Structure 1
Amino acid sequence: MLKCFEDGDHFELQDKLAFKLKHQFQGHPTLSLDNLCRFIPSLPKAHVHYSKGLLQTGDDFDSAPVDHPNGLSITQTIENMRTVDSYIMVRQPEVDPSFADFQRDLVNDLQVLVQRRGWGNRIVNPKLYLFVSSPNSVTPFHIDRFSNFLMQVSGSKTVTVFPPWDERVVAPHEAERRMADEKGPAWKPGSQTLGTPFQLEAGDALHIPFVAGHHVKNGPQDVSVSLSVFFNHRETAHRVRALLFNHAMRPGMAKVGLAPRPVGKSAMHDQLKSHTYRAASWMLRGLNKAD
């Protein structure tokens, strides 16, 4: 039985298509603005990133905190969130003890879901992310290296999600580059009609499939608080390694006019690339240790 999410047949779409559902964290005191004002400024600086909120869909998602600072301290930003154009992302808020229960319950639910799908007995590298942003804030277009459930706690937002593996939205080399923690994919305005907008109110959750492009626009009325859980499982872990394999092979193949077969076309080919990449990584680590 799931503790954090509304159960149902919608989970059959996991990592294929985006879908809405309900979460069970509505009204939880840990996610109140009062508690956020208390604990966010106390976190290590490496866990907190913030910028102006009124960005553009095509802005660079990763460099926004550097390219678009709001000129305030983190404490000033939180205290004035309703009136100051700002966006805060907290990476792994579970370092604060008040989030320990969230992480445990979410991980337990995710384990149940991947076991149901036959994706192994564990989830890989689960992480929480907390987002606090001003009315009308925009999160630029990007893809994540994980599967994701986004839970809206207060305020509202529209999340536009694009089909994963659609080359009209994200070119193969862009997805591969992103897996290598390099530059994210470029926003292609002509692809906007390919996305599906999901309106999220407090209590709603949204599944964003692995490598599905998406961008976000907050509602105009109130501060938006949302919590995401990012994770991988056996199948997405295979695809991460397959993308890294392609990324490593692409430059050499390009010299002879070739390109690797895109990931997401064949599960068999993706698994072969995954196993090859993992074996090569083990061999390289062994050689480095020997040196």
Structure 2
Amino acid sequence: MHGLTGFTITDRPVFGPQARVQFAAAYPETPVILRHDLAEHPLLTLDALAALAGKLPDTAIEYNRGDLPLGVDGKPAPTGIGIEDTIRHIAISDSWAVLKNIEQDPAYEALLLALLGELRGEIEAKTGAMLRPQGFVFISSPNAVTPYHFDPEHNILLQLAGHKVMTQFPAGDPRFAPDTTHESYHSGGPRELVWRDELAASGTAFAIGPGAAVMVPVMAPHHVRNGPVSSISLSITWRSDWSFAEADARCWNGVLRSAGLRPRAPGRWPQTNRGKALAFRTWRRLLRAS
């Protein structure tokens, strides 16, 4: 892949044949570590990322202290250091930062689409059209913690510099994220989850360093602990009709629960959740029309 907006992504595919076979077998529900070949890309150096942060809108930037517990109550407090200095001095700033929706910049959009394009066939064979591709870059100080949370996208986290351990928990299991928490999140609530120490024994730890990536199923609870040196990771994400239906079914369950009912949780893939999703979409249209 050459020549996208004037730079070379790589001389060969980022995901080799073995990684694609492993991904196809695991996607969308089984976490798996994959090998990748995206080392030392010029768009993903600290200086390039600091420059990107200076161009992104404030809504696309989140950063805070890195010395956090596994569970937090709401958004952590800011550090008082600007985002560009935070990134350039990440080795000593004791911080965690994320640049969201990097596809807002044309060069990063080209990189994101090229990476996802390598896996499009495997993705669409399972969950249909690849929808809403988005990219996120995480820059973390030594030993920084990303607290326990979940995300609504299909996700592959590529480790580029440093090492980290992502501990994942089964998606869709109310022991790790109650149904009411899912409903609240899909109705606009926070993604942070309540951590209890007794959950630890049920997690699966995935240790990744440069050249390794881990797939994260939709809404799989997880937390991340950085290693002893600073870290850069790239998260490439997408949605599917299935993931949107699951989200809307959760919203409909919230409506039913507010009416005093006790609805069953949506099913995990390959169940479609189409009935509840259509009910919520119809209800939402009627509210907007009234």
> Into which bin does the TM-score normalised by the smaller protein fall?
0.7 to 0.9
- SS of residue paired to 1:83: coil
Native 8 Å contact 2:171 2:217 kept in 1: yes
State the shift of 1:269 in Å: 7.6
Within-5 A mapping of 1:195-214: 195-214=203-222
Gaps (5+ residues) in structure 1?
none
- SS of residue paired to 1:70: coil
Q: Deviations over 1:96-125 (max 9, x none)?
A: 2331321221342353222222x22x2222
State the shift of 1:70 in Å: 1.2
Within-5 A mapping of 1:186-201: 186-201=194-209
1:234 to 2:241 alignment: yes
Native 8 Å contact 1:53 1:133 kept in 2: yes
State the shift of 1:38 in Å: 2.6
C-alpha distance in structure 2 between counterparts of 1:154 and 1:266, whole Å: 33
Q: 2:189 aligns with which of 182, 197, 210?
A: 182
State the shift of 1:49 in Å: 1.2
State the shift of 1:146 in Å: 1.4
Task: Using the TM superposition, name which of 266-275 and 14-23 deviates more.
Answer: 266-275
User: TM-score normalized by structure 1?
Assistant: 0.88
Per the alignment, residue 160 of structure 1 pairs with 167
State the shift of 1:155 in Å: 0.6
The verdict on how the C-alpha distance between 1:13 and 1:134 changes in structure 2, with shifts beyond 3 A counting, is: same
Native 8 Å contact 2:133 2:239 kept in 1: yes
1:215 to 2:223 alignment: yes
Amino acid at match of 1:98: A
State the shift of 1:237 in Å: 1.7
The verdict on how the C-alpha distance between 1:146 and 1:269 changes in structure 2, with shifts beyond 3 A counting, is: closer
Per the alignment, residue 6 of structure 2 pairs with none
Amino acid at match of 1:14: Y
Q: % of aligned pairs identical?
A: 29
Per the alignment, residue 87 of structure 1 pairs with 96
C-alpha distance in structure 2 between counterparts of 1:188 and 1:159, whole Å: 17
Amino acid at match of 1:103: L
Per the alignment, residue 273 of structure 1 pairs with 276
Task: Using the TM superposition, name which of 4-13 and 129-138 deviates more.
Answer: 4-13
Q: 2:57 aligns with which of 21, 44, 47?
A: 44
Gaps (5+ residues) in structure 2?
1-11
C-alpha distance in structure 1 between counterparts of 2:231 and 2:99, whole Å: 14
CA RMSD of aligned residues (A): 2.1
Q: 1:105 aligns with which of 99, 114, 117?
A: 114
Q: 2:34 aligns with which of 10, 14, 21?
A: 21
State the shift of 1:3 in Å: 4.0
State the shift of 1:12 in Å: 2.5
1:63 to 2:66 alignment: no
Q: 2:142 aligns with which of 135, 153, 160?
A: 135
The verdict on how the C-alpha distance between 1:115 and 1:42 changes in structure 2, with shifts beyond 3 A counting, is: closer
C-alpha distance in structure 1 between counterparts of 2:286 and 2:122, whole Å: 33
Native 8 Å contact 1:156 1:200 kept in 2: yes
Per the alignment, residue 243 of structure 1 pairs with 250
- SS of residue paired to 1:24: coil
User: TM-score normalized by structure 2?
Assistant: 0.88
1:169 to 2:169 alignment: no
Native 8 Å contact 1:17 1:164 kept in 2: no
State the shift of 1:183 in Å: 3.1
The verdict on how the C-alpha distance between 1:155 and 1:168 changes in structure 2, with shifts beyond 3 A counting, is: same
State the shift of 1:279 in Å: 2.6
C-alpha distance in structure 2 between counterparts of 1:259 and 1:216, whole Å: 33
Native 8 Å contact 2:246 2:277 kept in 1: yes
C-alpha distance in structure 1 between counterparts of 2:50 and 2:33, whole Å: 29
C-alpha distance in structure 1 between counterparts of 2:241 and 2:189, whole Å: 23
Amino acid at match of 2:196: K
C-alpha distance in structure 2 between counterparts of 1:169 and 1:182, whole Å: 17
State the shift of 1:188 in Å: 2.3
